[in-house]
Amino acid sequence: MAGIAVVTISDRCAGGMREDRSGPAVATLLQQLWPDETIGRGLVPDDEEAIVTLLSELCHQEYQLVVTVGGTGLGPRDITPEATRRVIEREVPGLPEAMRTFCAPSYKFAWLSRAIAGLKGKTLIVNVPGSENGAKESVQAILPLLSHALEITSGGTEHPKRG
């Protein structure tokens, strides 16, 4: 694995007005799947250019997985999906669909998430909500898919048998 990064996108966390608990929670979940992997961390405000710049740099550094935390809602500063679309080359719509489907039974507002996922080269970028519970549940929804997704993005060709 070339690397994993978790990037929190929040004006309040970046400005020191709130402790980032969602990013570390996501990093902990990913660490359980890849215990030998060092999880890189980033923190930027809800600024489209800052997000695009950081995501582009992580792709350039050939991180295999980048999970963004925050900025997926309906607020005027929630622009993570727009910034992500500027970076990715191909969308992977099934991942956010799986997250919303998994989270909606316990939180009906999960359907309002505008999270997206996509590929830039061999880097998979996945947006998750900024709330700690929403972020954790969203990652839990796709954990069973991530190993295979990353294997395929890195050039693998074997698909698991149905069953």
Q: What pLDDT digit, counting tens, does each position of 82-128 carry?
A: 999 999 999 999 999 999 999 999 999 999 999 999 999 999 999 99
Q: How confident is the model at residue 1 (pLDDT cuts 50, 70, 90)?
A: low
State residue 107's pLDDT score.
95
Q: How confident is the model at residue 53 (pLDDT cuts 50, 70, 90)?
A: very high
Q: Give the CA-trace dihedral at 15, 17, 20, 21, to 10 degrees.
A: -170
Which helix (H) or strand (E) covers residue 65, if one does?
strand 65-69
Residue 2 in this model has a pLDDT that exceeds 90: no
Pairing relationship of beta strands 39-44 and 4-9 according to DSSP bridges: parallel
Beta bridge partners of residue 126, listed in sequence order = 67, 117
Question: How many whole angstroms separate alpha carbon 92 and alpha carbon 67?
Answer: 13
Question: How many whole angstroms separate alpha carbon 87 and alpha carbon 65?
Answer: 14
State residue 163's pLDDT score.
61
Residue 159 in this model has a pLDDT that exceeds 90: no
Please indicate, yes or no, whether the overall pTM of this predicted structure exceeds 0.85: yes
State residue 156's pLDDT score.
81
Average pLDDT, the chain: 95
7-15: average pLDDT: 96
Question: How many whole angstroms separate alpha carbon 138 and alpha carbon 95?
Answer: 9
Pairing relationship of beta strands 65-69 and 123-128 according to DSSP bridges: parallel
33-44: average pLDDT: 94
